[in-house]
Each structure stands twice: as C-alpha cells, then as structure tokens.
Amino acid sequence: MRTTVNTFKKAKENKEKITMLTAYDYSTAKLVDEAGVESILVGDSLGMVCLGYEDTLSVTMEDMIHHVAAVARGAKNAMVIADMPFMSYQTSVYDAVVNAGRLIKEGRAQAVKLEGGLEVCEQIKAIVKASIPVCAHIGLTPQSINAFGGFQVQGKGEEAAKRLIEEAQAVEEAGAFAVVLECVPEKLATLISEKISIPTIGIGAGAGCDGQVLVYQDMLGLYSDFVPKFVKQFRNLGQEMKAGFADYVKEVKEGTFPAKEHTFKIDDSIIEKLY
C-alpha cells in the first residue's frame, strides 16, 4: 500500500514513528522501498552526495526532475517527496506552483518539499491549492547557507526558539502535511512536535520528533566529505565498496577475472573458419 498524506496524519494520531530516507536513483529507491521505509525524499542534497557540489545551491529543476523520475520508477510503496531546488519557489508564488507541478507531472513525485517558514507560506498555500501536498522544512535550511553564514544548530536562543515555534505553526496553518526540523535542539523539537498537529520529521532534532529522515549515503558510510554529528552510521558500505573495487582491480590485473563461468560459448568449428 502506497504511503500517502493520510498515512502521515494517522501515524501522528497513533503516535507511530514515520521513516524517511533520501534516494536519488532507481536501484537505491527500490532497496529503500523494499526495506519498508515509508517515504523517500529526493533531496537537493543530490547536489552534494551525487553531483559533488560543495552545497545545494547549484541544483536545477532539470537535475531534480531527472532523479525524481528515476526514484519514482523504483518506489512502489513509499511516498516520493521531491525537493524544490534553490530559486524554484523563492522568486514568486507563480514559479512555486509551476515548478511544484513539474516535479509531480514530469518527475511523478507524490509531494514536494521546500525550505523556509513564514516567508514561504504564500507559496505553500498556492501549491496546496493546486492539490500538491507540501512538506515544509525549517531550522537549518541549507539553501540559506550564505544568509546563515554556515551550518549551525538553529533556535538556541529564546527569540530564535520562539521564532521556530511560530514558523512551525505558520507552515501548518498554510497547509503543509509535514515539516522537517533540521538541526534543532532536542527539547525544542519535542515541544514543536507537541504544539502542532502535523508530523515533524527530524534530522539532527532528537527522538521527540514524529519521524526521522537521513541522507542514505550518510547512514551507510558512503559519503565522507562531511559527517554531521547527528548521523548514525548503520553500516560502513564505503569500506565494503572500496574493498570490492580493489579486488576487481587485482583480479583483472592478474587475469583471474573473468573466469570460465562468466563467459559465453561458441562452436569451435565456427571459430576455426574465422582464422
């Protein structure tokens, strides 16, 4: 059964935790989906973990549609949520609706995610009015890296904490079906989760959130450029992959791969005629 906005709603009502992981291609989406993860975020973290950019700012709508469509082909049950890239919704409400529409129509996502609180509420309202579910994202919003002056925990002071609560309430009021809380102190994230009726999905926001999201390369040890404090490495596949690649190099060099079982046969009589 496909996860929908109703699944999110019911999970919050029943106090059941919601799971979300990122994916950016067909085969990973299939694995994530088959493992029972309820929602797949095609994050604009794509820019860093797949495309090698130093931040998420250069990711385009074309990049997103290309990867969202691949993920959508692999995810049979998980809800596919497409991130709206930098400058695809900040520029105007019109741009926001058009670009959200493209992620649904061309990418075949079931929902979109965008960063920001009070300043993007008009965009959220308009996208929701166009029948597209929106997941909001507040706290550390990586598209605002230059405005923040770096990746820092958000909402630590009294004013900042109050502001974050207001933002969460505002995006709920605007019609978001869920909100990602990124790099928010655990107690504040728990309080926000109690104060709003839509699910909070935490990343670096502690166990009091209604669900959790991680970038899959982080939790599998596949991306070593930067490992945030909040990441738990559930496996170290990076080491495994490197060992596999090194074995391949060794066997090709020494001629032990490919072996007989990896080859195709042809009648000797035909080969003889070719000499």
The torsion angles phi and psi of 135, rounded to 5 degrees, stand at -100, 125
DSSP 125-191: HHHHHTT--EEEEEES-GGGHHHHTS------SHHHHHHHHHHHHHHHHHT-SEEEEES--HHHHHH
Tell me if 107 contacts ligand KIV by CB under 6 A: no
Q: Residue 203 interacts with ligand KIV (CB under 6 A)?
A: yes
Among the listed residues 18, 78, 170, 213, the single contact to ligand KIV using CB under 6 A: 213
Distance (Å, rounded) from C-alpha 8 to C-alpha 189? Answer: 18
- The span from the CA of 63 to the CA of 27, in Å, is 17
The DSSP H or E segment spanning 80 is strand 79-83
**Window of 31-39, 43-51, 67-75, 89-97 that interacts with ligand KIV by CB under 6 A:** 43-51
Residue 209 binds ligand KIV (CB under 6 A): no
Q: Find the part of the chain contacting ligand KIV (CB under 6 A) among 36-44, 62-70, 166-174, 224-232.
A: 36-44
Within residues 69-98, the interface with ligand KIV by CB under 6 A covers: 83
Distance between CA 74 and CA 37 in Å, rounded? 13
Q: Could you give the string, one character per residue 136-175, with x where binding to ligand KIV holds by CB under 6 A and - elsewhere?
A: -x--------------------------------------
Among the listed residues 182, 186, 240, 254, the single catalytic one is 182
Least separation in angstroms between residue 226's CB and ligand KIV is 12
Active site residue 182: yes
Candidates 7-15, 39-47, 98-106, 165-173; binding stretch for ligand KIV (CB under 6 A): 39-47
Burial of 130 (0-12, 13-18, 19+ CB in 10 A): middle
Q: Determine, following the binding rule CB under 6 A, whether residue 215 of this chain makes contact with ligand KIV.
A: yes
Q: Residue from 3, 43, 99, 210 that binds ligand KIV (CB under 6 A)?
A: 43
Q: Given the complex with ligand KIV, which of 233 and 256 has the nearer CB atom? A: 233
Collapsing DSSP states into helix, strand and coil, what is residue 56?
A: coil
To the nearest whole angstrom, how small is the minimum distance from the Cβ of residue 72 to ligand KIV? 16
Residues belonging to the chain: 275
Q: How far apart are CA 81 and CA 8, in angstroms?
A: 13
What is the distance between the alpha carbons of residues 108 and 50, in angstroms, rounded to a whole number? 20
Q: Is 210 in the site for ligand KIV (CB under 6 A)?
A: no
Task: State the number of CA atoms in the 13 A half-sphere of 118 facing the CB.
Answer: 6
Give dist(CA 43, CA 67) in Å, integer.
10
Element (H, E) at 40: strand 39-42
74 versus 202: smaller Cβ distance to ligand KIV: 202
**Closest CB 143 distance from ligand KIV, rounded Å:** 9
Member of 33, 38, 44, 172 binding ligand KIV (CB under 6 A): 44
The CB-of-83 to ligand KIV minimum distance in angstroms stands at: 5
**In the complex, which residues of this chain contact ligand KIV (CB under 6 A)?**
22, 41, 43-45, 83, 137, 180, 182, 203, 213, 215
Catalytic residues: 182
